[in-house]
Amino acid sequence: MDEGASQLSAFCTPKGRILGLMRLFHSGDTYYLRLPLDSLDAVLQRLRMYVLRADVTLEDATENFLRIGISGEQAPAHLTGAGLEVPDAIDAVTRSADSTVIRVPGSIPRFELYLTSLESAKSIWNAVNVHAAPVGEPVWRLLDIQAGIPNIFAATSELFVPQMTNLQLINGVNFQKGCYPGQEIVARMQYLGTLKRRMYLGHIEGGEPAAPGDELFAAADPEQAAGRIVDSQAHPDGGQLALAVLQISAAETGGLHLDSATGAPFGLLSLPYPFESPASAD
């Protein structure tokens, strides 16, 4: 991976389950993994088992950057106006002396900014704040959900094999890659089995806010959970928009509900990318 690109990457257990899901980018000899804060310690602890040379260090770099996300049809123009070079392709990266800009998936232009200078961050914030409304992390997570991009939190760590979260559909798995933890399971699912679970986009009507790991049930089989929430956020038009890993058979039957077979209805919506079943799954 060169310095002009970023990539979605999963770090799996030997059983092929995702321990951490991250966006990877690098500058010089330093590689950065952007992932949810509550999964950081577990990923760092596991990665440190692979450090064999004294000149390799792994550490929490949260305080190294000021981080801003900007989204909207006019976002490229606003970033250009703030003096930044804008990546022209999904996953592409541009850099200046104290900024890294990554274009991430979305139905409208969307960018992650990583800034090392407080003054630069203030200047960019002031430039885009004239045209854009400041919002919090839940809105950015909602945009990930709309784009069909999963996040793995502590509550869902080690629950899903990559194909269950559609990573093979969004350039998150390379089946030509060499040896890695869980490779045998991931490859077997791709080539030798039948995928029984995958990630869907859906709308939850009312009810309590859903959290990562919450269970979904089918009315036709109320005793056994049919899936789990990957992430869910309030939608401005009401209810919640959610990504969930579901049994394919239950999704095709319908009648899904949050927390119990009589809970808030979960209605399926179309993902922004096509689903093509892998030749295998376990």
pLDDT digits 0-9 by tens, 1-19: 888 999 999 999 999 999 9
Q: What domain range is 92 assigned to?
A: 7-146
In a domain, 136, yes or no: yes
Evaluated on CA atoms 21, 22, 23, 28, the torsion sign reads negative
In a domain, 153, yes or no: no
Same domain, 188 and 141: no
Which CATH number belongs to the domain containing residue 229 in this structure? 2.40.30.160
Same domain, 127 and 177: no
Same domain, 181 and 136: no
Same domain, 113 and 31: yes
Q: How far apart (Å, rounded) are the C-alpha atoms in residues 282 and 280?
A: 7
In a domain, 242, yes or no: yes
pLDDT digits 0-9 by tens, 30-81: 999 999 999 999 999 999 998 988 888 999 999 999 999 999 999 999 999 9
What pLDDT, on a 0 to 100 scale, did the predictor assign at position 282?
A: 37
What pLDDT, on a 0 to 100 scale, did the predictor assign at position 102?
A: 97
Contacts of 79 (CB under 8 A, 6+ apart): 70, 86, 101, 111, 124, 128
Q: Please tell me the total count of domains within the chain.
A: 2
Of the given ranges (14-28, 178-192, 262-276), which has the lowest mean pLDDT? 178-192
Q: Among 95, 122, 146, give the residue marking a domain's end.
A: 146
Same domain, 135 and 173: no
pLDDT at 207 over 80: no
Top-confidence residue, 191 or 256: 256
Task: Using pLDDT thresholds of 50, 70 and 90, give the confidence band for residue 278.
Answer: very low
Q: Among 119, 146, 173, give the residue marking a domain's end.
A: 146
What pLDDT, on a 0 to 100 scale, did the predictor assign at position 208?
A: 79
For the residues of the chain, what is the DSSP string, one character each? --TTB-EEEEEE-TTS-EEEEEEEEEETTEEEEE--GGGHHHHHHHHGGG--STT------GGG-EEEEEESTTHHHHHHHTT-PPP-STTBEEEETTEEEEE---SS-EEEEEES-HHHHHHHHHHHHTTS----HHHHHHHHHHTT-----GGGTTS--GGGGTGGGTT---TT----TTHHHHHHHHHTS---EEEEEEEE-SSSPP-TT-EEEETTEEEEEEEEEEEEEE-TTSSEEEEEEEEHHHHHH--EEESSTTSSEEEEE--SS-----S---
Which CATH number belongs to the domain containing residue 34 in this structure? 3.30.1360.120
In a domain, 204, yes or no: yes
Read off the pLDDT of each residue in 258-262 and give the average, rounded to a whole number: 95
What pLDDT, on a 0 to 100 scale, did the predictor assign at position 36?
A: 95
pLDDT digits 0-9 by tens, 103-126: 999 999 999 999 999 999 999 999
Task: Using pLDDT thresholds of 50, 70 and 90, give the confidence band for residue 227.
Answer: very high
Same domain, 199 and 73: no
Same domain, 103 and 22: yes
In a domain, 2, yes or no: no
What pLDDT, on a 0 to 100 scale, did the predictor assign at position 277?
A: 47
φ, ψ of residue 103 in degrees (nearest 5): -90, 125
Amino acid at 194: T
pLDDT at 281 over 70: no
pLDDT digits 0-9 by tens, 136-168: 999 999 999 999 999 999 999 999 999 999 999
Same domain, 12 and 81: yes
What pLDDT, on a 0 to 100 scale, did the predictor assign at position 192?
A: 82
Same domain, 124 and 196: no
* Average pLDDT value over all residues in the chain: 92
Same domain, 128 and 175: no
Read off the pLDDT of each residue in 189-197 and give the average, rounded to a whole number: 85
What pLDDT, on a 0 to 100 scale, did the predictor assign at position 280?
A: 37
Q: Which tokens go with 179?
A: 């040896």
